[in-house]
């Protein structure tokens, strides 16, 4: 799963700390989400999407994994 | 109510520690040496936990620091890290217990082998109990 958090955040000139404050997580979680090291829970995905005024699908891009 | 108990718990531990140590001193030769030692040891452990708990509860944080601390406690990534760390620790402990069991069986044997097998069984039983508990909750 990839996401557009960094892109949306930069476009709106929001800092990682401000976004973290807005969705009630630590800044480290935002850093991990942006770098793709951590996948958000449905609840956090919903909070982030709502923070940007978008739908979850517009922020988080689900990619079907290839089956061997 | 929960916060109240959380606040007084370190003090209760500290008081219980003194009570245990005092009991060990007062009972002295009237009880077997092992019981006296057990009282001293549990008193010492409780005193350590109590003292650390009291020291931590006295640390004053600004409202911002307090908010940041609480956020860090409930942050879903931190919770996930703790869960993964706990799971890894469970496996490592199990491997170490098996290694200890083999070493003891080869070089020592006897009651120590029985004791360590009991610990392995308990370790796995607690795991299964918790799996069952969480299976019901989730």
Per-residue pLDDT tens, chain B, 138 aa: give them: 677 777 888 899 999 999 999 998 888 778 888 888 888 899 999 999 999 988 888 887 888 888 888 888 899 999 999 999 999 999 999 999 999 999 998 888 788 888 999 999 999 999 999 999 999 998
Taking a C-beta distance cutoff of 8 angstroms, is the pair A27, A20 a contact? Answer: yes
Q: Does this complex have an ipTM over 0.90?
A: no
Q: How many CB atoms lie within 10 A of CB B77?
A: 22
Closest-CA distance of chain B to residue A29, Å: 6
Spatial distance between the Cα atoms of B114 and B131, rounded to a whole number of angstroms? 26
DSSP class per residue in B120-136: HHHHHHHHHHHHHHHHH
* CB-based contact B76 A40, cutoff 8 Å: yes
**Do A29 and B77 make contact, defined as CB atoms within 8 angstroms?**
yes
A42 has a chain B CB within 8 A of its CB:
no
Asked if B75 and A25 come within 8 Å (Cβ–Cβ), the reply is: yes
What is the rounded distance in angstroms from the CA atom of residue B120 to the CA atom of residue B104? 13
pTM: 0.71
Which domains are assigned to chain A?
2-61 (1.10.260.40)
B61: three-class secondary structure by DSSP: coil
Closest residue on chain A to B78 (Cα): A29
Helices (H), B28-75: 33-57, 63-74
Looking at beta carbons, which residues of chain B come within 8 Å of A28? 75, 77
SS3 for B16? Answer: helix
Distance CA A48, CA A59 (A): 8
> Quick one: chain B helix, strand, coil %, rounded to 5?
90, 0, 10
Residue B76, C-beta contacts closer than 8 angstroms, at least 6 positions apart? A25, A29, A40, A41, A43, A44
């Amino acid at each position: 799963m990839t996401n557009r958090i960094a892109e949306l955040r930069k476009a709106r000139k929001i800092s990682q700390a401000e976004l973290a404050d807005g969705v009630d997580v630590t800044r480290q979680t935002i850093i991990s989400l942006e770098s793709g090291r951590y996948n958000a829970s449905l609840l956090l995905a919903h909070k982030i999407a709502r923070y940007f005024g978008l739908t979850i699908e517009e922020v988080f891009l689900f990619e079907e994994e290839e089956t061997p | 109510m929960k916060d109240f108990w959380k606040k007084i718990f370190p003090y209760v531990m500290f008081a219980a520690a003194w009570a245990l140590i005092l009991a060990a001193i007062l009972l002295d030769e009237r009880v077997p040496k092992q019981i006296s030692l057990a009282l001293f040891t549990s008193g010492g452990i409780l005193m350590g936990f109590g003292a650390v708990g009291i020291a931590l509860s006295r640390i004053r944080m600004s409202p911002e620091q307090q908010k940041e601390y609480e956020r860090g406690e409930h942050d879903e990534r931190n919770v996930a890290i703790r869960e993964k760390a706990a799971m890894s620790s469970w496996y490592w402990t199990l491997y170490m217990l098996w290694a200890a069991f083999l070493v003891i069986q080869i070089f020592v044997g006897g009651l120590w082998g029985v004791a360590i097998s009991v610990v392995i069984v308990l370790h796995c039983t607690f795991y299964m109990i918790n799996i069952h508990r969480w299976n019901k909750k989730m």
